[in-house]
Amino acid sequence: MNVEISETKGQFITRRQALKAAALCGAGAVLCGTALAKPASHPDTSDWDDLIAPDLSNVNMPDGSWEMKDGVLVAKTHDTIWTKKSYGDFILDLEFKVAKDSNSGVFLRAGDPNNVLSALEVQVHDSQDGALYGMVGAIYNAQPPSKKMQKPTGEWNHFTITCKGSHASLIFNGEEVWNIDLDDWNEPHKNPDGTKNKFDKALKDFSRSGPIGFQGLHGEAQAPVWYRNIKIKELK
């Protein structure tokens, strides 16, 4: 894959992105429209709704493909679990823990649950896969995080994902690592930084409402990912 990723000082920024941003936004910028990693607080979710019921009664999944035990959700098969309800504008807050070689993801606003490429996917891995923007906290194939934030394998990580209209952001373990406008993705198969993606539809044309899902056992290792404290607040 012809993409060069720099990890200098923990940054995940393509060289092409840096050059383009410098031209468009000034030499001091790194990503136009995307905040550099900066401290950000995760919300108090004590009065928020559970996204997934403890008895799994509000999700669609093949029987036995996922289980919820002691408040922890984990996949038993490769199948994705989807909420029965669709969500448009919301804040989703959750924790996840990975095993070695885990590969999963959080799907947002799926236009068609039978086609995962109809949803934005926030990557969940132990490190990174071979896909473009396959690192933890990336929007799969579309947007990298501005900083490497994941904790070591076996420790709990924290995501706060906000979607409101065309805008989306991620706070990852206490730092905002992207804050984007999906309208900037205005061509199929092309990201704003000029890299190619797999999407037949421009991200600006993706559904702005749909089920939320979690990818099951994925990748060669079929290693598990554990999710807990999955809370949602719908925005008006």
What residue spans define the domains of the chain?
A: 34-234
Instruction: State the chain's maximal CA–CA distance in angstroms.
Output: 54
In this predicted structure, what is the pLDDT of residue 44?
98
Give kind and range of the element (H or E) at residue 21. Answer: helix 15-25
pTM of the model: 0.86
User: How many C-beta atoms lie closer than 10 Å to residue 235's C-beta?
Assistant: 12
The region that residue 47 occupies, defined by phi over 0 for left and psi between -120 and 50 for alpha, beta otherwise, is alpha
Is a pLDDT exceeding 70 seen at residue 19?
A: no
According to CATH, what is the number of the domain 34-234? 2.60.120.560
Is a pLDDT exceeding 70 seen at residue 77?
A: yes
C-alpha distance from residue 159 to each of 33, 41, 92, 154, 170 (Å)? 20, 11, 8, 16, 7
Quickly tell me which residue has 């704003």 as its tokens: 192
User: How many C-beta atoms lie closer than 10 Å to residue 83's C-beta?
Assistant: 21
In this predicted structure, what is the pLDDT of residue 7?
39
Is a pLDDT exceeding 70 seen at residue 52?
A: yes
Q: Could you tell me the pLDDT band of residue 161, with boundaries at 50, 70 and 90?
A: very high
- Distance in angstroms (rounded) separating the CA atoms of residues 17 and 53: 41
Lowest mean pLDDT among 28-42, 110-124, 195-209: 28-42
